[in-house]
Amino acid sequence: MGHPESFVDSLPGPAIEPAQPSAANVVKRRTRSPGRKQFSLLIVRGDGTRVVRFNFPRPAALAAFAGVAIAVTTFGALFGDWVQLRQLTVEARTFKQQIAEQGATIDSFNRRVVELRQEMTGWRDLHARIWEPFGPELQPGGRDRAIGGGALRADRVTGRLSPRDELERLAESVAEQGESLKALDRLVARAGKALAALPSRWPVRGAVNSEFGMRQSPWAQGTEFHSGLDIRSAHGTPVRAPAGGTVTVAGTYQEYGITVILDHGQDIKSVYGHLSRTSVKSGERVERGAVVGWSGNTGRSTGAHLHYEILVKGQAVNPRAYLWD
């Protein structure tokens, strides 16, 4: 206590007993306190035997306090940034995984689009083969298209395409094939009507005794031309129309005896000879499967059977070419 100007003092012995300040010292301290130029740090041991005092000049103490405050503030800011950066890192890993999964999905989708477009190209070739027998006039687009699509199409350009281009080309192929299918549907509908008018059904079921063409004549020596099929059938077997048509003959007709002739349109007629009787009249409209008469042995015949004949533009043709059912 006797050396107030020393930086560090060590006092052995018991703890310092407070001295009774004099009035002059009290006045002196009171007058010097407002202008204190230094700060002191006292360290007292647990046994109270020693006191260490550190004296710091006022500027140094203020600088140290400011430094500590700045350090604590800086550490707090850096720690907050570190926590936020760690959170962002965790989120970035999650986003990276999601992006990888989405990338794999997009790649798979692009591959599937390419496969579909290639399959659509195969459909185009198939449609070309289907349309070829009908000629270019009936194909979608008419005469401005060659059979099989002779022009080089955009989807045959080599090189990797972007997903957007792949989708655009797939959409074009789908639209094109849709139009082709619509046109094919219209053609099938027309063909269906035409096929329904063809005599494609057997008028009776039975073995064929005599085929179409040249045969040994049952009436004389030598051969003769047979203009139809002789189908074995018992007397009175129902004879059904193989297709819808209009009755042009219902009665005795030349050497065929009792005969029915149906006009199916498109210059196609069918003849049913050697009937025992008819069930229709001339001018009557009959539908497919309707009974037009019953088999018999009238006219020039050696026994009960049905003579079935088809005429195209007045000329006899082989009925087997029309018999599908």
The structure's pTM equals 0.48
Cα(89)–Cα(322) distance, integer angstroms = 79
Domains of the chain: 122-196 (no CATH), 208-321 (2.70.70.10)
Full pLDDT tens readout for the chain, 325 residues? 344 444 444 444 444 444 454 444 443 444 444 556 777 777 777 776 656 777 778 787 778 888 889 998 998 888 888 888 888 888 888 888 888 888 888 888 878 887 887 777 777 777 777 777 666 656 665 544 444 444 444 444 445 667 777 778 778 878 877 887 888 788 778 777 777 778 989 999 999 998 998 888 887 788 889 999 999 999 999 999 999 999 999 999 989 999 999 999 888 999 999 999 999 999 999 999 999 999 999 998 888 999 999 999 999 999 998 888 6
